[in-house]
Amino acid sequence: MTPTLGRILGLSLFRLAALPARTGRLPRWLALLAGVVVVGSAGVAAAHTTGQAFVLLLPTHLYIIGGALVVVVSFILVAAVPSQTLARLEGLRWRLGPASVSAALARALSTAASLVSLAVAIVLVVAGFGGSRDPLANPLPLSVWTVWWIGFTYLHALFGNLWAHLNPWSGFYRVTTRLGRRAIPLLGYPAWAGHWPAVLGFLAFAWLELVYPAPADPGMLAGVVAGYLLANFVGIFVFGESAWLRYAEPFSAFFRVIAWLAPLGRWRDRAGPAGHEPGEITVTLPGLRLLTAEAPGVAGIAFILAVLSSVSFDGFSRTFTWVALLGENPLEYPGRSALVLANTAGLLATFVVLGLAWAVVARLARTLAGPESSPAHAGALVLSIVPIAVGYHFAHYLPVFVVDVQRALRAASDPFALGWDLLGTRELHIVASLLTDPGRVYAIWHTQVAIIVAAHVAAVAVGHALVLRLAGGACVGVASEVPVVVLMIGYTILGLWLLSTPTAG
């Protein structure tokens, strides 16, 4: 969009604001605000690097429009949507069919899936040690950073908690304990530990991805994956499968949180025959399952904030702003090796600052909710920022995913660099025009903006419903959620800015 077109859009909003009000003054005021933002800020786009040296900046006009939409939608949802409407939305559920299977069959299928996952992980580790040294030809880095970290997260946001069945530990643990007739943990998982091991584990993973100089080196990554597999096997055998995967293994916690957004899932609303797991496969609005999720404690809140802070620092650490703050010339990027200490401090500082900001916001929200608010208020409200974290993850990694998933498919055909063509994809042509063809690039840009705005809408709607449920009154509920909504608006606009600002490296 050119500045002239931006001003035309702004003038249209001004005219909308001048129309006779039929539903009160709020919509007119919001249109006026959006018009000021668009007219005052319309401009020409720059470029954005999103991993693997892809230059794909979100244009400035889309950033401005997205930010204006966020402000408008926030005020409408908070001030104009009655609690009865949200209650009706919560009840929306389309049933696709029964999902009642025997408990024994369900466990057997889950065990088999886990064993297959372990076998794939072992093959990838061997490929990392003995395959190509090129990270774009070896299947291990592509599988970890593209297929699993990006693509698998997308799948969880659509289809629910697949990792509960596809993690590589459960199957082996169940088989060995059944053969050895011992399924009793050696130790009880300490209650004081909570999700803190998962928080530390996730921050370590974020450090490897965002700070370590060569996170895609096949040999190094093979050692990390092998060590991670063994460490969690030890944890499961010592503390038990259920406790360890629920509290200590970071990606079991991560994918469980992501799965709360999934529209597809099993709804248990009736009793079934003995030995069966009752329920039906249902489709509901994305994010509604957050309303029935258990409110996390302090460690659970810290885990969700660690997820949000890591993906935010991923975007911020690449910007000219961050590099300039470190005293470096953004046009002469010194490389990750020279910035290990600074980026480590930046990653931890982002987590701490976000934690302090959330503490202030949660305190204000509970104060505004009145003396009847429960101690679980902050834990419940933190669930409302999950859509924003996942939305930015989706939008941030989308350009690199659409290209590197093709490379992963090609590398999988010859995992050990022996000249094999197992899948018939060894000579697959990589369609990089997805990031150079104007039509496709515009499609990606608009998808990114739509994802972030939709994530914000879901976050505000979930937060509104949670506050009304906790506070027990519409007026009090609206007042108490204002601090959270302000934080959401700021964070969503930050995400759009990160996608539109020039980057180095």
pLDDT interval class at 52 (50, 70, 90): very low
pLDDT interval class at 472 (50, 70, 90): low
pTM score: 0.81
Average confidence (pLDDT) over 224-228 = 97
In a domain, 243, yes or no: yes
Is the model's pLDDT at 21 over the cut of 50?
no
Domain stop point among 43, 78, 113: 78
The DSSP symbol for 53 reads T
Cα gap 148→144, rounded to integer Å: 5
145 and 258, same structural domain?
yes
128 and 27, same structural domain?
no
Percent of the chain surpassing pLDDT 90: 35
461 and 353, same structural domain?
yes
Instruction: Select the more confidently predicted residue: 344 or 14.
Output: 344
In a domain, 181, yes or no: yes
Cα gap 131→134, rounded to integer Å: 9
266 and 208, same structural domain?
yes
Give me the number of domains the chain comprises: 3
347 and 198, same structural domain?
no
360 and 243, same structural domain?
no
Instruction: Select the more confidently predicted residue: 113 or 34.
Output: 113
489 and 343, same structural domain?
yes
The DSSP symbol for 319 reads B
Tens digit of each residue's pLDDT (9 = 90 or more) over 69-87: 777 777 676 666 666 666 6
66 and 149, same structural domain?
no
In a domain, 295, yes or no: no
In a domain, 296, yes or no: no
Phi-psi map region of 26: left, alpha, beta (phi>0 left; psi -120 to 50 alpha): alpha
Q: What is the pLDDT of residue 114?
A: 96
Least confident segment among 150-154, 177-181, 233-237, 254-258? 177-181
247 and 157, same structural domain?
yes
In a domain, 154, yes or no: yes
495 and 363, same structural domain?
yes
Average confidence (pLDDT) over 443-455 = 84
In a domain, 299, yes or no: no
Q: What is the pLDDT of residue 378?
A: 66
Three-state secondary structure along 100-138?
Answer: CEEHHHHHHHHHHHHHHHHHHHHHHHHHHHHCCCCCCCC
263 and 341, same structural domain?
no
Q: What is the pLDDT of residue 370?
A: 65
Is the model's pLDDT at 432 over the cut of 50?
yes
Q: What is the pLDDT of residue 409?
A: 94
In a domain, 178, yes or no: yes
Residue type, 250: P
Residue-range definition of the domain harbouring residue 177? 94-284
Tens digit of each residue's pLDDT (9 = 90 or more) over 111-126: 999 999 999 999 999 9
The DSSP symbol for 57 reads P
Among 344, 340, 170, which Cα is nearest to 251's? 170
161 and 31, same structural domain?
no
Residue type, 442: Y
Cα–Cα distances (Å) from 300 to 28, 195, 199, 421, in that order, read 41, 6, 8, 45
Domain stop point among 50, 78, 106: 78
Q: Are 464 and 481 in contact (CB under 8 A)?
A: yes
Average pLDDT, the chain: 79
Domain stop point among 284, 314, 344: 284
In a domain, 86, yes or no: no
Count of C-beta atoms within a 10 Å radius of residue 472: 13
